[in-house]
Amino acid sequence: MKAGGHGFDGVERRGLMFVLSSPSGAGKTTLSRMLVAETPALQMSVSATTRPKRPGEVEGKDYYFVSQGRFDEMIAHSELLEWATVFENRYGTPRAPVEAALSAGYDVLFDIDWQGTQQLRSRSPSDVVSVFILPPSAQALEQRLHTRAQDSGEVIRSRMKKAGDEMSHFDAYDYIVVNDNVGMAFEAVKSILRAEQLKRERQIGLSGFVRGLQQQLET
């Protein structure tokens, strides 16, 4: 897709909000990075958070770092599309940059849970496409968590328990992809995005494009 709101074959279209959710360790982050790397017109949503900035993090790239008071203002003024509290810190999606991207014909990728997905859908039902990534088995999920070598055994057990709760909300998503092979899972996710981009109702310039074709045929 070209910049400036022009989609495939020069037809102007409105962007979409593409949500990837999964239990920790199921491959959502890997698939998100692959998708952004291969899709120039896909932007990663940047969340606002009240947690302190960590070493190496960049304002506006990793997060928008705001105070508790500013976050309260953003909620009160409907400046957030969705928000949640996680371990005493709050995270939310600023509305303005997302809406600007969609209007310009760009797609926005979200790495959020099912609650955030429901909030997005309640505000912009026609713009949201949601995909839930499942592991092929509980054993594979546990093995992936151990392979990352980032968490203690206690944390891994906690993540496994939470995974069961997260997976219970699978029916709230438009698409389900089982990540048994990351290459095949990526092709599935990429195909979903491509198909949703081509939906007639998102191609807002389609009527004019078709009229132009008809005029060419009449000459």
CB 8 within 8 A of CB 97: no
What would the pLDDT profile of 66-118 be if each residue is shown by its tens digit? 999 999 999 999 999 999 988 789 999 999 999 999 999 899 999 888 999 99
pLDDT at 137: 92
CB 169 within 8 A of CB 34: no
CB 119 within 8 A of CB 81: yes
d(CA 120, CA 108): 12
Which amino acid is located at 99 in the chain? Answer: E
Cβ-count burial 121-157 (b if 16+ within 10 Å, e if not): bebbeebbbbbbbbbeeeeebbeebeeeeeeeeeebe
d(CA 156, CA 100): 39
What would the pLDDT profile of 191-205 be if each residue is shown by its tens digit? 999 999 999 999 999
The pLDDT-based confidence of 150 (bands split at 50, 70, 90) is low
* Range 147-161 average pLDDT: 74
Is pLDDT at 151 greater than 70 in this prediction?
no
Is pLDDT at 5 greater than 60 in this prediction?
no
Share of the chain above pLDDT 70, in %: 94
pLDDT at 7: 55
H/E stretch holding 211 reads helix 206-218
Instruction: Sketch out the chain's domains with CATH numbers.
Output: 8-45+107-218 (3.40.50.300)
Which amino acid is located at 155 in the chain? Answer: V
The average confidence (pLDDT) of the chain is 90
